[in-house]
Copies of this chain bind each other. A is one copy, B any other.
Amino acid sequence: MNGLSERIRIVLVGTTHPGNIGSAARAMKVMGLGRLYLVAPEAPFPSSRATALATSGDDVLQEAVVVDTLLDAIEGCGLVLGTSARQRSLPLPLLDPRAAAARGVAEAPSHDVALVFGREKSGLNNEETRLCHYLVNIPTSEEYHSLNLAQAVQVLAYELHLALRADTPGEIEPPDWRPEPPERLEIYFERLAATLQAIGFLNPNQPKRLMQRLRRLYLRARPDENELNILNGILSATQSAARGRTERNGD
């Protein structure tokens, strides 16, 4: 691994087959990637099957981090790319593997980057997809889309390897901008929902669609610490204002 590749996490969510974990580790190792996260694997882990298929990638398996939720796996990441075979009801920006790798490597000097792979059968659920800044779609035949999980990891690892070798930044972000990690943004979204209810803007019975749209907006913006402080400050001031009204209404 070189320095940049250490900023890149490969995250497998709910993997069912131990062989896929092993093959993914091998694909990573061959392409110079080392940081593997397993979110609530369905497969037993560690397992002899995974180790056998990892071959020389067994050190990747040994250093793999097992966590309970996707949010744990992407903690501290400034960019979260979720692979997806299908388009969602509320679409996110979509990258092909090459553009995803270019973006990941371009941002890796600033912050950790996560590349997330869903379950073999069902992919990422809506809850998990909501944590992603971009979706990554591997182009396939129109006739048959189903890429095996390890093959999908291989394609992305290969593109990341090429992008890491090339080190040509196509886009340079402002130096003072460091996107806040997902865990802080999630707290903001909860406060935002509560505040919108307090000012009577969010219908507590049907909060979902509106919050989905606001999530997409702020995930696209990727606020940094300063900006998130401002946004939280606005919520606090808004809640004070709402309390004022509530108290008055109760007069």
A251 CB to nearest chain B CB (Å): 7
What residues of chain B lie closer than 8 Å to A177, measured between beta carbons? 91, 93
Interface residues of A in 18-53 (CB under 8 A from B): 23, 26-27, 29-32
Contact B96 A168 (CB under 8 A): yes
Contact A237 B94 (CB under 8 A): no
Residue of B with least CB distance to A19: B19
Residue of B with least CB distance to A93: B173
Residue of B with least CB distance to A233: B201
What residues of chain B lie closer than 8 Å to A216, measured between beta carbons? 227
Contact B251 A23 (CB under 8 A): no
What residues of chain B lie closer than 8 Å to A172, measured between beta carbons? 93-95
How far is B172's CA from A97's CA once the two chains are assembled, in angstroms? 12
How far is B221's CA from A247's CA once the two chains are assembled, in angstroms? 35
Interface residues of A in 211-237 (CB under 8 A from B): 213-214, 216-218, 220-223, 226-227, 230-231, 233-234, 237
A232 CB to nearest chain B CB (Å): 11
Residue A3, interface by CB 8 Å: no
Residue A244, interface by CB 8 Å: yes
Residue A121, interface by CB 8 Å: no
What residues of chain B lie closer than 8 Å to A246, measured between beta carbons? 244
Choice from B139, B199, B220 contacting A240 with Cβ under 8 Å: B199
How far is B176's CA from A26's CA once the two chains are assembled, in angstroms? 39
What residues of chain B lie closer than 8 Å to A29, measured between beta carbons? 141, 143-144
Choice from B31, B222, B242, B243 contacting A141 with Cβ under 8 Å: B31
A-B CB contact pairs (8 Å), 25 listed: A30-B140, A30-B144, A31-B141, A32-B140, A56-B146, A91-B176, A92-B174, A93-B174, A94-B171, A94-B174, A98-B162, A99-B170, A102-B170, A151-B154, A154-B155, A158-B158, A213-B227, A217-B231, A220-B220, A220-B222, A221-B221, A238-B241, A241-B242, A241-B244, A244-B246
